[in-house]
Structure 1
Amino acid sequence: MSHLIIFLIFTLLLALAAKVAYSIIWVPWVIAHHYNKQGTRGPSYHLIKGNTHEIRHMYTEVQSKPMTLCHDIDPRVSPFYHRWCPIYGKTILYWHGSKPRLALSDPDIIKEALLKTGVWFKRMEPNPFMKMFFGDGILMARGEKWAAHRVIANQAFKMESVKVIIL
């Protein structure tokens, strides 16, 4: 009877180890390989922590320096993107733990993401600095609030409502 209990415990531990290895090793590798084939690159994935430590270090480094008086706030708001964009391109795959994130700057992809939010794209929670910078508008809204903002924004960009003033 004790051998059966030991065998069951061993089997459960083995199944748990396989599940953990699958989720933190295999799945991120497959995702990175998939995006790499499409030409989307980014910093390498680190087991369990992803790129979180690097990103946190970049924020700490930027916060320790005084802010300059200019309109170039990209290095302050998203230092990881500012540093990685010249290396990996405008679309960057990075990792929060074992979860992939895409940083986008291509206007066409951003437009598609804003149009299809909730269908294909799931937005991550913004950090407090981004929330302060962008406010509580369409870029940060979700669900019904996003839909309401989207209806209002759509009206502003229809050609019938755009007035042309000729001087």
Structure 2
Amino acid sequence: FCCCSHTHTTERADQLSKRSSPPMAFFAVLLLLVLLALFAVAATQLWNYAVVRLVWRPYAMSKWFREQGIHGPSYSFLKGCNEDVRSMKEETDRLVLEVGDHKYLPRIAPHYLKWRTLYGEPFLYWHGPQARICIFDYELARQILSSKSGHFVKNDAHPTLLALVGKGLGFMEGADWVRHRRIINPVFTIDKLKVMPSSCSWLSSKA
């Protein structure tokens, strides 16, 4: 009697454990749903980066700026105008400037002058997939530099340049810029600015 009772108890426990444990098909379906969700997220990110950011947005922005009367060189996939800039700089690398010649722009930035002649002012060009507008109007530049709207952001500086000159006021944004600008404000008072020409003249004579 004891042996039979023990056998029935074991069989009943096995049946209960089988009923309580979820089937393997449930785990397979759950894993499939997770993989599909991850694939959907990856596909969305890829679409946003490869199609929207690298294809649709540059051409849409170019069309929008053309309607505003701002033209420029055409956009090339991924490269933007970088190849044109590189080729023009290679051509001007052979130029030799005379001592005291301050017309250095054709030597270091020939693309600005060429595109200015072709497309007028201002013009639109592409640094990779990033749109940039080049202006030559001093008053417009003053308004942009003094604007506090937050719409005009500085370009990311190259790490080599940051290592050379440091992350000074010219590369800062937002609260960091305000804090550093407040620190150096006393240096640019009218009385101290009046002394600067004579100091610069004295330093240049000692050079």
- TM-score normalized with structure 1 length: 0.69
Show structure 2 runs of 5+ residues with no match.
Answer: 1-27, 195-207
Matches for 1:29-48 after TM superposition, within 5 Å: 29-48=59-78
Whichever residue aligns with residue 44 of structure 2, its letter is A
Alpha-carbon offset, residue 27 of structure 1: 1.2
- The alpha carbon displacement at 1:11 in A equals 4.5
Larger RCO (alpha carbons 8 Å, 6+ apart) = 1
Kindly state the Cα deviation for residue 116 of structure 1 after the two structures are TM-superposed: 1.4
CA distance in 1: counterparts of 2:188 and 2:90, whole angstroms: 38
Corresponding residue of 2:154: 123
- Of 113, 138, 145, which residue of structure 2 is paired with 1:82? 113
Deviations 1:112-157 (A, max 9, x none): 11101672211224679x99xxx99x9945324773498469755x
Distance in 2, matches of 1:149 and 1:77, equals 33
Aligned to 1:103: 134
SS of the residue 1:102 aligns to: strand
Matched, 1:51 2:81: yes
The structure whose Rg is larger is: 2
Does the C-alpha gap of structure 1 residues 148 and 67 become closer, same or farther in structure 2, counting only changes over 3 Å?
Answer: farther
Q: Which amino acid aligns with 1:37?
A: E
What is the root-mean-square deviation in Å for CA atoms of aligned residues?
A: 3.8
Aligned length, in residue pairs: 152
Structure with greater helix percent: 2
Query: Is the CA contact 1:41–1:92 (under 8 Å) kept in the aligned structure 2?
Result: yes
Match of 1:65 in 2: 95
Q: CA distance change for structure 1 residues 127 and 56 in 2, over 3 Å: closer, same or farther? A: farther
Q: Distance in 2 between matches of 1:146 and 1:111?
A: 20
Cα distance between partner residues in 2 of 1:28 and 1:74: 27
1:58–1:79: 8 Å Cα contact kept in structure 2? yes
- 8 Å Cα contact 1:94/1:100 also seen in 2: yes
Q: Distance in 2 between matches of 1:38 and 1:122?
A: 21
Answering whether residue 47 of structure 2 is matched by residue 18 of structure 1, we say yes
Amino acid at match of 1:72: K
Which sections of structure 1, spanning at least 5 residues, go unmatched?
162-167
Deviation digits for residues 91-130 of structure 1 (CA, Å, limit 9, x no counterpart): 12111111111111112210111101672211224679x9
User: Following the alignment from structure 1 to structure 2, what is the Cα–Cα distance between the partners of residues 81 and 149?
Assistant: 35
* Aligned CA distance change for structure 1 residues 65 and 24 (closer, same or farther; 3 Å): same
SS in 2 for 1:121: coil
